[in-house]
Every structure is written in structure tokens, then in C-alpha cells.
Structure 1
């Protein structure tokens, strides 16, 4: 694989599907490679850097805009096929040279936007995640049953100095919020420390990242996205059973 092909693969595997589609469309519509226009089609700083590297290699190899669009579309199809067959590593933080992973927020948004009937998220704390909030409200607009389990504040028996539930309820009026209110003796002092997002029994994102701005963009966080198979279904059933059996209670 030469450097040009490597840049194509890295870009196709890192940016969101929407951003990739936007870049391809711009290449086709313009009929030429206009870096200024293309830079506006991606938002995250890391994606912009990958795009700059891709365009530099395209210039070196005299790749035309239509040909580059075709290369990106082809790589995207291959990536999507293999993503459906295997877990996807998700990483936020410094990225070693020669590696390519999608970031936490990109994958969290994919799971939320992919939900059609039910969506369950858990986190220790949640605040300052504007793009996540927008996506969750859009999911509610589609009729998705959005459930969110968070750690309670100290004044309500939990371990948080802040009240994440009240903060998030204010911006997510149609979501249903849950807390681990009654903790058996062996779990005294324990916290809701799981960070997962499950959509429709078919997409499951397991991550170290809380629902915070820093976790989405600045912290060093790792996770795995699972598509299809038994594990998303098992995790969804486990979360729903905690609700139905009263382990966690709706607030």
C-alpha cells in the first residue's frame, strides 16, 4: 500500500459517514480539488488534518477530483462491509502516526442517530455535550424511547457533587432518566460507572468516556463499537431488566 492509498483508507475510516459523503459530493460537484471548500465539509481538527494529508498526496500523484471521489467511495464501501463483521476500536486522544480510529463523539452520534425504536445510555456524569443533546432530541422526535441512567448527586444518595440528572433533564425534556437509588449492602458506596449506549438491540458502544465535553474531545478515552450479533441484544436486555426489576428507578 503506497502513501496515497494509506491516506484514502485513513480518511475513510476516521471521518463520519456524513462528512465523507459531503467531501465526495463536493469533489464531484466542483470537478476540481478545492482545499478551502473541502475543509468546510469536515468539522473535527483531526479529520481536517487527515484531509490535508490526503490532498497533499493527491497533488503529488496528480489525482483528479473525480478519481479521488471514486477512491473515497470505494474505500468507504469496503470499510463499511468489514465494519459490519467485526468490532470497531474507538479512540479519543493522541493518535500515533500510521493509525486510524474514529473518535468517541463520532461513534456516540452514530449510535444515537441509528436508533429507531429504543436507546439506552449510561454514564457516571453528563454535561456540556451539545451535539449529543441535539442528536438525542432528534431521536425523541423520531419516536425513539430514550432512557438515560446516571449517577445521583450526593444530596440524593449518590456520589456526585453536581446534579447531572437535573442538568440533562432541562435540555432533554422527553428522555426518561433513571438512578441506582437502592443499593444492597455489598454495593454500599458504589457508583453508576458503566458507560454504554445501545440502540435497538443491534448497536452497542462500550466506552471509558463519560457524557462530557472533555471525554468526547480532549481526554484519552477508549471504547469498542459492536454492530449486530448477540452482544448488543444481551446488553440491551440487561439494561431493560434492571428497569423492570427495580434495580434502577425512573426519576
Structure 2
């Protein structure tokens, strides 16, 4: 069944946004695309700000607590992945010399006491202290009583005798996530959830001076040559891995004594490609550390980045480590190579944190229960129309999801003043980044969005294009959307790229949907400088002007009335209230041919 009503409602929310999305500033130096227009605040249909998920401050610095005068609830872990939630715990920050035996914890129904011990700083309390000690670095004491932390929500009080010294409440506790108290004053604490042991990094900036910009399928030699140059370390992270050429480079590096490590997603959408197993198992047999991240209670919905750290260089792309991706046999992708020791060390730290988590296992263990699927292979050959280029950069930022990517990308889009070029396989109609792009068009920024037309995304992309084009025509917005047609340049779009004001380019793995930036591990580089931005802008222009489909305005007006009626029916059935003004701008799909149905996976 086609999801046109969803597109209609989501687009109503997008075009009703009053202005630009504003997010928490990243830890970067000033520069192009870094400023947000004064007074700009993005809102949804109800007038609420568009929020970006970012990690809680206490997740980044769990011992940041200043001295407290009375005990405070600072962490809650109610919903572990263990049977019966064994190992659940709460964390108290207490003044020096606190007699824990004077304290009790209650939810109004059951009460638990703490042991007769003296404590200072942070202490965890759990009904299962031995199990909890394995999942928290805080000292753990036993909660004695019938109190259990409810996974579906609870209200807790810390009492000293009959006096309540602190309280906190929460709704449903996400599995394997920790509640961190925020800095709001008072005893009724508020907080935020964050996956246990997930990283919590700010966006960070570097000054390498130059970078090597490249695109695929034009320049598959760039990532291969970078891997070939490894002397000391080679850390490769990806979603899927089926490239024999990359395997050969990793094996050769290992044979000459390089520390080679590989980290892939444990459960790609639809299953792990069968071609992965002999390659990764073969690398493991040669002494390469190969691990898979995922499974129940994983820190990330998908481990979806595509990067390599090679000595003091990094390669970050939109492409999987497979022939269709970095092999140059299919996809239009964007990539960049940067040589900078500090950047390489920081990205290596991301790799180490991800590879060392509780949701990671060796490939030799994972393969015994993995679901393998035959996804076929790609062997296309395409010309080199855009060769690699060494470009100057004013700064390079390392941005990762879910830690900081949504906030940083919203900030960059909010800072656009003249132009916004977006090249994506698809864009979710309810994505916060799309709302920010539409808001940019509303304030006069020229926005162009280029999407893929492969059969598995064509219907939804055509629907989104129709909706946005109709809205643009109705409001006279500088907003254009096109679907690229496959040709002799590449088979499909797989890039996840943005160019802002011909001054900033974003290269990386994050699709434009809220799941990618809020729950996936993604890695992106923000390149600031006119030369870098111009390289990717030229590729965008060539793709845009090559073979694209756009919805004629005349056709949009003819279809509009029928879709408005469909929207009304869908709205009545769903009970969703949308404004008449927003609804009149909604559009549905152009159906030009029937395609076989398929479960759509993340790419």
C-alpha cells in the first residue's frame, strides 16, 4: 500500500514551519555556514521547536557533579537486556561522609533501604549488586527490599527518615538506555535517556590545510591507494563488506605487520551479504581483528558509517565496502581523504569505543548465528568524469551520530544564506533536516534536492518531489526537487551529501531521516572552504543536469485536487488535524510504471 497520506501530513508539518531550524552550537571555530540568522526558530505544526537529539552532558562526563548538599538521583538504569531486568540500578550523588543507612528509596508502593555504610561522591544501588557491578563503573551497594525500577515508568523518592530529599520520575525506559539527570534545579529531577556505553562526543574541528575530494564510481582508486599506504594502523569501519579488492589490501597490510582491525554491522537490514563471510573469516584467519556490532540491546540501531583510519590519514565516504560502493561498479557516492594526525586519532578513538562495547563479538562467533543472504553483485564500468582533486580547506569537522550530528547539521542548514544543494538516495518526509531545508527556502535560500530513482525508492521519492514542488509553486519558493535517471555515469545515487553557500560541504554516511541521526552510528566530515565546496557542487550540477525527472507544474496542478480529496479522507480516517492552508499544498506520487515490491533495507 502506498504511503501517500503519510507524505501529505508530514509535508504539511514541513511547509508550516515558521523558519529555520536552530540547534545547540557545536564545538567549532567560527566560519562559513556556522552562523544562524538572528531570531530564527523552527517550529512544527503545533508551534513547538524542532529539537535535535544530542547526548546528555552527564553521559559525556559522568563524574561532573559538583559537591552536593544532599543526596541526588543522577542516573537510572531500569531496563537492562537481562532476564527480569536483573542488574537494574540507580546512582546517587551524595555529600562526603553520608551515612547511606539513613536513606531509603521508594516508589510509593515498595521501599528499599541502603546498607549501613559511609559514602562520598557517586554510588550505585541495585537489588542485584553483583550483576550491576558488571555494567557500571560506580561502586555498587545493595538495595534491600522489594523495590524494582519499572521499565514502563516510575516515580522515585529518596528519603532521609520521613523527609524527601530528592525525587525523579520517568515514562517508558528505553531498553539498555540510562537516564541522566539534567541541570534543572529543584528536587523533582528531569533527565534524558542515552544508550549505555554509547559515546558522547562534541563536533570537533581540525586544520589540515587541504583534503583530497573524490566521488564514485569515478575514483575507486583513492580509498584503495590509501589502504595500500598503511604502515602502522588500519582501522576500517562499515555497514556491509563484500569487496575482494579491499580484502586484498587489508590482508597485505596485515602480512607486513600493520595493526589491521575491521568493524561491521551485525544485522544489516535484510541480512548479512553471503559474500561477506569468506572474506571476513579469511581476514580473521590471517590475524586481523574482525568484529560485528549489534544485536539485542545494542547501543546503535545500525552501525552504518563508512570510514578508514590509515596511520595519520582518514577516508570518509557515503559508500559501503563492496564493489557497488567503493569499488566503483554502481553508485554515485561522495568521499574525502584527509591527512591530519589529530583527526585520525579522534576517529580512531570512535572506532575503539565502538569496537570495545558490550554489543560487539568476534566475527568467528557472530558468523555462527548470522543470517546470510545472496544480494547479487555489481560489475558495471563507468567513466571518470570527475577525477580526485586536492582542495584547500579552512577547517574540517568530525561529526558523528547519534552524539552530535543532528544538532550540527541543523545548525549548518540554518546558517545557509544563498544556496543549499542536497544529494540523497531518499529523504524521509518527516525528517528534521528536510524541515530545516524547507524553512531555508521560505527565507529565500535557493534549495535543490536530487534524489535517486531506483525502483525500490522511486514511488516515495516521486511522492515527496510532487509534494514539495506543489508547495513551492503555491508559495513561490526557490525550491526544486528532481529524481536522477540511471545512465552511463552511474547506476544509482547513494551519496549523502550537502553543499551550503558554495562554502561548506558535508560528506559522510548519514541518510536524511531521523533514525540515521538519532539512533545510528554515522560518521561525517564537514569541509569548510570554497575549493572543497566547489568540487562537490560541480558534481551535483553535472548529476542534476545529466538526466533528471521533475514534476511539471501543470501536472502538479491537475493532480492537486484529487490529492487534496485523498488527504481529506485519510485525515478523517486517521483523526489527524492539519491546517487547511497546509493541506492545500500537499501532493501525492506520480506513477509512471509498476515495480516489483521489496522490503526496503538501509543502504
TM-score (norm 2): 0.27
**What is aligned with 2:53?**
44
Does 1:86 find its partner at 2:395? yes
User: Which has a greater percent of helix?
Assistant: 1
- Which protein, 1 or 2, shows the higher relative CO under an 8 Å CA cutoff with sep ≥ 6? 1
| Structure 1 position 160, deviation (Å) | 2.2
Structure 2: distance between partners of 1:242 and 1:161: 17
- Cα distance in 2 for residues equivalent to 1:226 and 1:58: 41
Would the aligned equivalents of 2:398 and 2:525 in 1 still touch at CA under 8 Å?
A: yes
Match of 1:16 among 1, 21, 24: 24
Task: Work out which of the residue numbers 430, 449, 460 in structure 2 matches 1:163.
Answer: 460
**1:88/1:18 CA distance change after superposition, 3 Å:** closer
Residue 143 of structure 1 pairs with residue 444 of structure 2: yes
The answer to whether the Cα contact below 8 Å between 2:424 and 2:450 also exists between their aligned partners in 1 is yes
| Residues 126, 210 of structure 1: 8 Å contact kept | yes
**Distance across 2 between alignment mates of 1:120 and 1:45:** 25
Q: Give the conservation status (yes or no) of the 8 Å contact 1:150–1:178.
A: yes
Tell whether the 8 Å contact from 2:426 to 2:511 is kept in structure 1 after alignment: yes
1:248 aligns with 2:257: no
Tell me how far apart the structure 2 counterparts of residues 212 and 113 of structure 1 sit (CA, whole Å).
17
For 1:81 and 1:147, how far apart are their aligned partners in 2?
A: 29
The 5-angstrom pairing of residues 208-223 of structure 1 reads 208-223=509-524
**Structure 1 residue 138: Cα displacement:** 1.6
Q: Higher strand fraction: Structure 1 or Structure 2?
A: 2
Q: Does 1:132 align with 2:442?
A: no
User: What CA distance in whole angstroms lies between the structure 1 residues aligned with 2:484 and 2:52?
Assistant: 37
CA distance 1:126–1:218, shift in 2 (3 Å): same
Q: Which residue of 2 aligns with 1:227?
A: 528
Aligned partners of 1:108 and 1:197 also within 8 Å: no
Q: Distance in 2 between matches of 1:234 and 1:135?
A: 24
1:56 aligns with 2:65: yes
- The alpha-carbon distance between structure 1 residues 135 and 145, as it changes in their structure 2 partners (threshold 3 A), is same
CA contact (8 A) 1:243 1:249 kept: no
1:180 is matched with which residue?
484
Q: Does 1:195 align with 2:496?
A: yes
The DSSP-based 3-state class of the residue aligned with 1:147 is strand
Q: Deviations over 1:90-146 (max 9, x none)?
A: 1114xxxxxxxx532223212211211111111112115442232112201111111
CA-to-partner distance for each residue in 1:25-79, whole Å, 9 max, x for gaps? Answer: xxxxxxxxxxxxxxxxx8635134357748515879xxxxxxxxxxxxxxxxxx7
Q: TM-score, normalized by length of structure 1?
A: 0.60
- Give how far 1:206 is off: 0.8
Alpha-carbon distance in structure 2 between the residues aligned to 1:92 and 1:45: 9
Give the count of matched residue pairs. Answer: 183
Q: Where does residue 11 of structure 1 map in the other structure?
A: none
Change in CA separation of 1:114 and 1:213 when aligned onto 2, cut-off 3 Å: same
Larger radius of gyration: 2
Q: Does 1:105 align with 2:439?
A: no
